[in-house]
Amino acid sequence: MKKKLFFCFSALLCLWTALAGCAPQAGKPAFAESTDNNIAAVSSSTAEEQSDRVAVIGSASVTLVPDMAELTFDVTTDGNTAADVTAQNEKAVNKVTEDLISSGIKKEDIQTSGFSVYPEYTYDDQGKKASNGYTATTSITVTIRSVDSIGKTVDQAIKSGANGAYGITYSLSNGEAKYNEMLAQSYEAAKKKADALAAAAGKKTDGVVYMEENQQAYEMAMTQTSQTVSAAKETGNENSETKFEPGSMEISAQVQFVFALK
């Protein structure tokens, strides 16, 4: 009798286990549902959304004559010791700086941009090295707020003791404002493109849904080099002012826009 009860109990336990395995787990559906329809619905929605938009690039540019310039002067001195040459160089730099300020350059527009002190050597026929003192060089970068004063400033710096000038860069005092104007005009250009494309598709634009600035380009039409300044100095004609032509500068803006369609 006990043996029969044991078998009955075992059978019931197996049945209960089997039923438990078939039952849905908490928080999960009893049967998996196909997601093909959902994927198709999402794809259809995405395609429809893309068909109701148009992406275009708008650009605008303006060519102007620069009204400012920046260039660097080197003041170089030689001496027997590092301490001596440094002191001499400081004195020479102070004279160049003071004379530039007296000529109309603001103190805040003069910046020390480099300094070096290094030993000099000579070599005999056998290649033996011998000390030949020290050289110190200070570089000062000057902002000139009127391109008409570039030649005057260069001549004054060289007359006061500068040994070279290089790295001239032109700019616009209102460059940022002009660039912002080009950004606004790039929208107008993009809007015309978007309207034309929308009309071709039988639709109309319905506002901007996305925009991104692509680049900011300041293209220099011309630069001057230190060779131009040196050549003017070597002619020995100190009564004539060194001439500089600023050329022209192009400021351009480019923006990508996405317009909604209706």
Statement to judge: residues 74 and 120 lie in one domain: yes
Statement to judge: residues 106 and 122 lie in one domain: yes
Helix (H, G, I), strand (E, B) or coil at 1: coil
Does any domain span residue 41? no
What's the pTM?
A: 0.66
Does any domain span residue 143? yes
Asked whether the beta carbons of 183 and 213 are under 8 A apart, the reply is: yes
Contacts of 250 (CB under 8 A, 6+ apart): 61, 62, 63, 64, 217, 218, 219, 221
Summarised one tens digit per residue, pLDDT across range 73-93 is 999 999 999 999 999 999 999
Statement to judge: residues 93 and 188 lie in one domain: no
Statement to judge: residues 128 and 207 lie in one domain: no
* The residue type at 252: S
Which of 80, 76, 249 is closest to 173 using CA atoms?
Answer: 249
Which of 246, 199, 203 is closest to 221 using CA atoms?
Answer: 246
Does any domain span residue 23? no
Does any domain span residue 186? yes
Tell me what pLDDT residue 245 has: 86
Statement to judge: residues 169 and 180 lie in one domain: no
Where does the pLDDT of residue 238 fall: very low under 50, low under 70, confident under 90, or very high at 90 and above?
low
The strand pairing partners of 217, in sequence order, are 252
Domain range enclosing 77: 67-173+222-242
Statement to judge: residues 75 and 111 lie in one domain: yes
Does any domain span residue 89? yes
Summarised one tens digit per residue, pLDDT across range 199-209 is 999 999 999 99
Summarised one tens digit per residue, pLDDT across range 7-25 is 444 444 443 444 444 444 4
SS (HEC) of 52-71: CEEEEEEEEEEEECCCEEEE
Statement to judge: residues 233 and 124 lie in one domain: yes
Which of 159, 194, 172, 189 is closest to 251 using CA atoms?
Answer: 172
CATH number, domain with residue 137: 3.30.70.2970
Statement to judge: residues 207 and 107 lie in one domain: no
Does any domain span residue 25? no
Does any domain span residue 22? no
Statement to judge: residues 214 and 227 lie in one domain: no
Statement to judge: residues 194 and 108 lie in one domain: no
| Number of domains making up the chain | 2
**H or E stretch covering 89:** helix 82-102
Statement to judge: residues 125 and 238 lie in one domain: yes
Summarised one tens digit per residue, pLDDT across range 180-201 is 999 999 999 999 999 999 999 9
Output the CA torsion 139→144→147→151 (10° steps). Answer: -50
